Amino acid sequence: MPINAVGREVPSEINGQKFKPFAGDMKTPPEGRRAGSLLRMVPESRSKVVSSLEEVIKKVGLEDGMTVSFHHHLRNGDYVVNMVMETIRKMGIKNIRVFPTALFPVHQPLVSMLTDGTIRRIEGSMNGALGEATSYGEMRETAVLRSHSGRVRAVESGEVHIDVAFIAAPTADPYGNLNGVDGPSACGPLAYGMVDAYHADHTVAITDHLVPYPAHPISIFQHNIDYVVPVDKIGDPNGIMSGTLRITTSPSRLKIARYALEVIDKVALRDGFSFQAGAGGISLAVTKFLGDLMKKRGIRASFINGGVTKYVVDMLHEGLVDVVFDGQAFDLDAVKSLKEDKNHIETPLAMYGNPYSSGGIVNMLDVGVLGATEVDIDFNVNVNTHSDGMLLHGIGGHQEVAAGSALTIVTVPLYRYRVPVIRERVTTVTTPGEVIDVVVTEHGIAVNPKRDDIIEALRGSKVPIYDIQDLQKKAERICGKPQEPKTTDDIVAAILWRDGTVIDVVYKVKK
């Protein structure tokens, strides 16, 4: 197996498909043309409503071995994935490739479908029980994990062809116009579903809020939707929305947020700057503190890309930022603002960070603040596996935000309980050190040596600056050296860089 640019041995063939080893960001140019979906004839009826999932699955002609896709806007409140997959299982259709934008703990029922022959593999982020089952080798084929934008690229390039896209729609009309801002299961944007709607051979909207034609506003347009299936409920609002997201109260996490703020202040804060917001505890704190600082200094941002929460919406409404780009809404304030404020813009995921496009939002970002499970002394980041080798998280937008932002900050505690976060070598490389600029811990920060300009800008700052090796040693001194993961040589998952090259693999964990 070839060794890639971050020193990992990776296969050149996965599930019978050829892949190149990771060569560095923007080092592998694209080939070919954008892939398309089937052309279709306008339906005879003025209604695309089909009464049951079983009926629609028959109509689209889903067969053994095909690929079905889902979006994850309903997050851990989603009913649609389980509902569709259970119907497929009951109909006796086998060997399905499931291609979600992400799966959550609520999708645990799919675990049994890995062994009963319904699912041959999942290509997408798996949080929780599915990741665990995959780690133990219960998936027949190899899982493939891509970032949000990497997934868009895979669809557009034809690396993955979707036979049927099942699109959860909080609001739909009978002719297939969809939005996510109204209805009992409102989730905000439908950004993750758009690529699938354009590129799948067959598209099915599933809704619990059928409204008279035309539904409006429109996120996904009627000419891309073949069928509309009304059901009782597409999700549980408590799992879709996070409730009021609270800023971390942990003093050590707040300390990390304050150090990150100081770095942003010294390096990037100026009128018209832009940043990526998120919903993690530290990220939320950074957003809030940044808003306070901007107010104090009289600074206005040009845009925030989110991961939109109440904290971002407040900044928009206080005039601290001109535009909010919204690919995902985390609370009802964000949904309401998306619906009502013209400066709060729903962005298709294809516009986010696809490296094989004419440029995404991430390429205009000044500051990205990201989390990690582990970081190593080469600044490589792992967000996929735990230190014991278990695959438990997806990539999200980590890769493209890191690659695109002018200043990429990774905020992590030095250790979590007894587990060191700054390691000699990460268990799995998700994002290469070449696109990480600053690592911020509660003990101090480390700056990637290739960023002299940042070290210079931080001169005279109160934040303690260390060599990353010293932070790693400090973590090991406090925690002791952990045991190596007990894994076999069997590859259970491949981690792709956003350009489709293989950056790392995940091995089967011994029970």
State the residues that interact with other proteins by CB under 8 A.
251-252, 254-255, 387-389, 417-419, 442-443, 462, 478-480, 482-483, 485-486
Instruction: Report, in Å, the least distance between residue 116 CB and other proteins.
Output: 29
45 vs 417 by CB, closer to other proteins: 417
Q: What is the rounded CA–CA span in Å between residue 499 and residue 435?
A: 14
Q: Which is nearer to other proteins, 209 or 423 (CB)?
A: 423
Minimum gap (Å) between residue 41 Cβ and other proteins: 56
- Residue 33: which of 158, 130, 131 has the closest Cα? 158
Shortest Å distance, C-beta 479 to other proteins: 7
Rounded to whole angstroms, the Cα distance separating 484 from 303 reads: 43
The span from the CA of 103 to the CA of 396, in Å, is 11
Rounded CA separation 480/415 (Å): 11
Instruction: Write the DSSP assignment of 197-260 as a string of letters.
Output: HHH-SEEEEEES-B-SSSPSS-SB-GGG--EEEE-S-SB-HHHHS--SPPPP--HHHHHHHHHH
Nearer to other proteins, 342 or 462 (CB): 462
Nearest to 279 by CA among 208, 188, 342: 188
Nearer to other proteins, 46 or 418 (CB): 418
Nearer to other proteins, 52 or 252 (CB): 252
3-state secondary structure of 369: strand
Closer to other proteins at the Cβ: 307 or 485?
485
Closest of 71, 115, 78, 122 to residue 96, by C-alpha = 122
Partners of residue 230 on adjacent β-strands: 207
CB of 411 to other proteins, least distance (A): 15
Separation of alpha carbons 296 and 273, rounded Å: 16
Q: Which residue number, 77 or 413, has a Cβ lying nearer to other proteins?
A: 413
Tell me the C-alpha distance between 213 and 100, whole Å. Answer: 29
Smallest distance, other proteins to C-beta of residue 256, A: 10
Least gap, CB of 258 to other proteins (angstroms): 9
CB 345 within 8 A of CB 191: no
Compute the least distance from the CB of residue 509 to other proteins, in Å: 8
